[in-house]
């Protein structure tokens, strides 16, 4: 940071002198080849390459199966119109980024996904991360919380605090965010089925601290469709779940205007084994569905669309990931303007968070994961992400240790400040290969959109098992390529160390965490106003019985949160009406 401050303080004369090295001519020289000469050189090279031998281990396909040519030239971009397909940063179709200045104006947010054990222990880690330079919070919840179960539920046994933090009531949210001003820091919450409940806890905590809802900034994942497609953590069937999401969007649009109401997530679709094209297509199709559901409710697209955001996976195929992110912005912008009639440029923007690929990490030679993560994070930055999470080297073994988390954060800081990749905008634009990949992935996504529309939309596709089958085939293909060593994984299927010993610290979660959370729930129930809590829960059930649009469930959920109802109690109040969802088997 010191160097950046020094640069800003340089004199105008100094900056002028820095524009070019002395003795370098700025007048462009005339082209040395005309078109005919260039064509001749190209054909001669092709002949020489055809006569040469390729590596016996060469497997010229991206992870998504896109064939990789030995060389890309202007021929591959003959149909490309720079004005139509690229534009400029901050201008339609946003291929080159959503902001005019990109990282020259504002660095990407370093938002490490974190949460474990009890709210008190996670709060201590948040304070350490913020002190180390993290610039936003990202809350990871444990599996019972993600599924809508309280820590004292039989189905929660053995899972409390293991893969994230346990949050059972407003009291837990108060402890989790103790000493952190919700009006001063942006917070992301990775929660879907019970997203409305966690949002209510967050809002009620801010309210108690005197922070107006209008001052709150952050993001809810709140993407239930990808749960049915990939992660499999839901509370209710698809159609009532969509009703709750639309209620939340409607509520937040009016009362929490700076909050990103959905982070439409491709991350878990990719973690389940999809290709980059499938991640791109299925995620954006989910986004289209949320837009359509809100419009059906009677909402104006330009009122809610600017607060929709996205969440992408950055995998190991470096150039393909960059191309995917560039294509995503272009696809979203075109459809929002041309298909959904959005008038505001803010409605055309695809703002997104990126996380490096957890599924690319291994428990073998785990220090290698630091290197994998660094390249994946670099792809996210070169692809123009607005915020970034870098996975820790030990995440295939346990929740990350403090040391591993700090290395992951330092990885982001090195990319931001030492490599020079944030000094110019979209530096790979014009690359024959990157632009060709961008076009290819866009075309594959559009083909999927047509198929999804023909089957009746995303919900129909979920009910028919379409997405699950497509991802399953892609995951199987990748596994076969690994087993045949067509894809070399260093330390896993090649360069293996048979007698390897684990030499990194591992974070262990004590069984006492579950007992502590059970005691906390009992204390909340003992000290709250039971009559007020029961009344709030009954009002929520009554509202759930009404037709969509007649009563906003978010208002009733917030009332229950204020009364210190637990997550499980709030879920059950709606479950009485909406029931459960059981997925049909596809394999």
Mean pLDDT, residues 330-351: 97
CA dihedral 554→558→561→566, nearest 10 degrees, is -10
103 DSSP 8-state letter:
G
**How sure is the predictor about 585, in pLDDT bands with cuts at 50, 70 and 90?**
low
**How sure is the predictor about 22, in pLDDT bands with cuts at 50, 70 and 90?**
very low
Q: How far is CA 257 from CA 215, 251, 333, 385, in A?
A: 8, 9, 21, 22
Tokens read off for 257: 């205007």
Tokens read off for 505: 């610290």
**How sure is the predictor about 564, in pLDDT bands with cuts at 50, 70 and 90?**
very high
Q: What is the largest CA-CA distance in the chain?
A: 87
The answer to whether residues 568 and 168 touch, using CB atoms and an 8 Å cutoff, is: yes
- Which spans in 455-529 are helix H? 458-464, 466-483, 512-527
Residue 493 maps to a domain: no
Q: Which residues contact 265 (CB under 8 A, 6 or more apart)?
A: 221, 223, 226, 283, 310, 311
Q: What is the pLDDT of residue 115?
A: 84
Q: What is the C-alpha separation between 367 and 248, in angstroms, rounded?
A: 42
Mean pLDDT, residues 7-31: 42
> At residue 536, does pLDDT exceed 80?
yes
Q: Residue 510: how many CB atoms within 10 A of its CB?
A: 12
Which residue has 């923007």 as its token pair?
349
Q: What is the pLDDT of residue 557?
A: 98
Q: How far is CA 247 from CA 68, 217, 304, 340, 444, in A?
A: 45, 19, 12, 20, 33
Average pLDDT across the chain, whole number? 92
Which residue has 């630091």 as its token pair?
370
Residue 501 maps to a domain: no
The answer to whether residues 168 and 567 touch, using CB atoms and an 8 Å cutoff, is: yes
Tokens read off for 67: 């064939």
Tokens read off for 123: 């709060």
Q: What is the pLDDT of residue 11?
A: 40
The answer to whether residues 564 and 171 touch, using CB atoms and an 8 Å cutoff, is: yes
Q: What is the pLDDT of residue 113?
A: 72
Q: What is the pLDDT of residue 502?
A: 85
Q: What is the pLDDT of residue 133?
A: 85
Residue 93 maps to a domain: yes
DSSP β-ladder status, 308-314 and 113-114: unpaired
Tokens read off for 324: 């995917």
Comparing C-alpha atoms, which of 479, 556, 552, 481 is closest to residue 243? 552
Comparing C-alpha atoms, which of 311, 393, 380, 388 is closest to residue 352? 311
Q: What is the pLDDT of residue 3?
A: 38
Residue 59 maps to a domain: no
> At residue 29, does pLDDT exceed 80?
no
Q: What is the pLDDT of residues 237-277, one digit of tens each?
A: 999 999 999 999 999 999 999 999 999 999 999 999 999 99
Q: Residue 387: beta bridge partners?
A: 109, 353
- Among 156-170, 339-353, 376-390, 496-510, which stretch is predicted with the lowest mean pLDDT? 496-510
φ, ψ for residue 187, nearest 5 deg: -125, 130
pTM of the entire structure?
0.90
Q: Is 20 helix (H, G, I), strand (E, B) or coil?
A: coil
Mean pLDDT, residues 40-65: 94
Share of the chain above pLDDT 70, in %: 94
Q: Which domain holds residue 310?
A: 82-360+368-483
φ, ψ for residue 262, nearest 5 deg: -140, 140
Q: What is the pLDDT of residues 305-319, one digit of tens each?
A: 999 999 999 999 999
The answer to whether residues 449 and 281 touch, using CB atoms and an 8 Å cutoff, is: yes
**How sure is the predictor about 15, in pLDDT bands with cuts at 50, 70 and 90?**
very low
Q: What is the CATH number of the domain that holds 321?
A: 3.20.20.240
Tokens read off for 225: 């469709």
Q: What is the C-alpha separation between 268 and 274, in angstroms, rounded?
A: 9
Q: What is the C-alpha separation between 302 and 325, in angstroms, rounded?
A: 23
Q: Which residues contact 257 (CB under 8 A, 6 or more apart)?
A: 214, 307
Tokens read off for 138: 């990202």
Mean pLDDT, residues 497-516: 88
Q: What is the pLDDT of residues 135-164, one digit of tens each?
A: 788 899 999 999 999 999 999 999 999 889
> At residue 584, does pLDDT exceed 80?
no
The answer to whether residues 198 and 244 touch, using CB atoms and an 8 Å cutoff, is: no
Q: What is the C-alpha separation between 360 and 372, in angstroms, rounded?
A: 8
The total number of structural domains that make up the chain: 1
Q: What is the C-alpha separation between 572 and 574, in angstroms, rounded?
A: 5
Which residue has 């994942």 as its token pair?
221
Q: What is the C-alpha separation between 481 and 476, in angstroms, rounded?
A: 9
Q: What is the C-alpha separation between 584 and 237, in angstroms, rounded?
A: 12
Comparing C-alpha atoms, which of 558, 561, 565 is closest to residue 530? 565
Comparing C-alpha atoms, which of 498, 437, 70, 114 is closest to residue 280? 437
83 DSSP 8-state letter:
I
Mean pLDDT, residues 184-198: 94
Residue 301 maps to a domain: yes
Residue 265 maps to a domain: yes
DSSP β-ladder status, 262-265 and 308-314: parallel
Residue 75 maps to a domain: no
CA dihedral 504→365→275→339, nearest 10 degrees, is 30
DSSP for 240-252? HHHHHHHHHHHHH
Tokens read off for 450: 């047509």
Residue 32 maps to a domain: no
**SS (HEC) of 528-579:** CCHHHHHHHHHHHHHHHCCCCCCCCHHHHHHHHHHCCCCHHHHHHHHHHHHC
DSSP for 317-351? -HHHHHHHHHHHHHHHHHHHHHTS---SHHHH---
Comparing C-alpha atoms, which of 287, 295, 339 is closest to residue 312? 287
Q: What is the pLDDT of residues 424-462, one digit of tens each?
A: 999 999 999 999 999 999 999 999 999 999 999 999 999
């Amino acid at each position: 940071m010191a160097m950046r401050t020094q640069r800003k303080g340089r004199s105008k004369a100094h900056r002028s002198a820095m524009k070019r090295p002395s003795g370098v001519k700025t007048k462009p020289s005339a082209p040395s080849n005309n078109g005919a000469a260039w064509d001749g050189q190209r054909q001669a090279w092709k002949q020489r390459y055809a006569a040469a031998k390729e590596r016996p281990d060469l497997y010229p396909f991206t992870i998504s199966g896109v064939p990789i040519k030995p060389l890309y030239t202007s021929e591959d971009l003959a149909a490309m119109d720079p004005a139509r397909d690229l534009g400029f940063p901050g201008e339609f179709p946003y291929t080159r980024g959503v902001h005019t200045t990109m990282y020259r104006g504002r660095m990407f947010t370093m938002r490490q996904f974190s949460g474990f054990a009890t709210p008190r222990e996670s709060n201590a880690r948040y304070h350490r991360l913020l002190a180390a330079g993290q610039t936003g919070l990202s809350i990871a919840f444990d599996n019972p919380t993600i599924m809508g179960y309280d820590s004292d539920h039989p189905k929660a046994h053995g899972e409390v605090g293991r893969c994230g933090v346990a949050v059972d009531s407003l009291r837990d949210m108060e402890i989790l965010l103790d000493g952190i001003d919700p009006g001063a820091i942006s917070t992301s919450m990775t929660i879907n089925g019970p997203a409305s409940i966690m949002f209510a806890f967050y809002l009620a905590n801010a309210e108690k601290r005197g922070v107006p809802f209008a001052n709150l900034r952050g993001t809810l994942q709140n993407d239930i469709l990808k749960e049915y497609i990939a992660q499999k953590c839901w509370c209710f069937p698809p159609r009532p779940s969509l009703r709750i999401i639309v209620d939340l969007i409607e509520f937040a649009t009016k009362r929490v205007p700076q909050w990103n109401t959905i982070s439409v997530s491709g991350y878990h679709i990719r973690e389940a084994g999809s290709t980059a094209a499938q991640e791109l297509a299925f995620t954006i199709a989910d986004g289209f569905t949320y837009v359509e559901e809100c419009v059906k409710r009677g909402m104006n697209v330009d009122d809610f669309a600017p607060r929709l955001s996205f969440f992408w996976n950055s995998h190991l195929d470096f150039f393909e990931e960059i191309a995917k992110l560039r294509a995503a912005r272009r696809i979203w912008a075109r459809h929002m303007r041309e298909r959904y009639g959005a008038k505001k440029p803010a409605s055309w923007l695809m703002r997104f968070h990126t996380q490096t690929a957890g599924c690319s990490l291994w428990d073998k030679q785990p220090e290698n994961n630091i290197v994998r993560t660094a390249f994946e994070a670099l792809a996210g930055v070169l692809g123009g992400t607005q915020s970034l999470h870098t996975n820790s080297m030990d995440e295939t073994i346990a929740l990350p240790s403090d040391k591993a988390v700090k290395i992951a954060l330092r990885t982001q800081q090195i990319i931001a400040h030492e490599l020079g990749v944030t000094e110019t905008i979209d530096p790979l634009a014009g690359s024959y290969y990157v632009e060709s990949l961008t076009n290819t992935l866009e075309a594959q996504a559009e083909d999927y959109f047509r198929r999804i529309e023909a089957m009746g939309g995303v919900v129909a596709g979920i009910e028919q098992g379409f997405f699950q089958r497509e991802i399953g085939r892609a995951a199987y293909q990748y596994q076969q390529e690994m087993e045949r060593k067509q894809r070399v994984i260093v330390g896993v299927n090649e360069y293996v160390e048979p007698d390897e010993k684990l030499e990194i610290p591992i974070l262990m979660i004590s069984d006492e965490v579950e007992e502590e959370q059970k005691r906390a729930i009992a204390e909340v129930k003992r000290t709250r106003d039971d009559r007020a809590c029961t009344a709030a829960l009954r009002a929520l059930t009554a509202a759930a019985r009404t037709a969509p649009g007649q009563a906003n469930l978010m208002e009733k959920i917030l009332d229950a949160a204020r009364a210190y109802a637990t997550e499980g109690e709030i879920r059950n109040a709606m479950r009485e009406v909406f029931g459960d969802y059981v997925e049909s088997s596809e394999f």
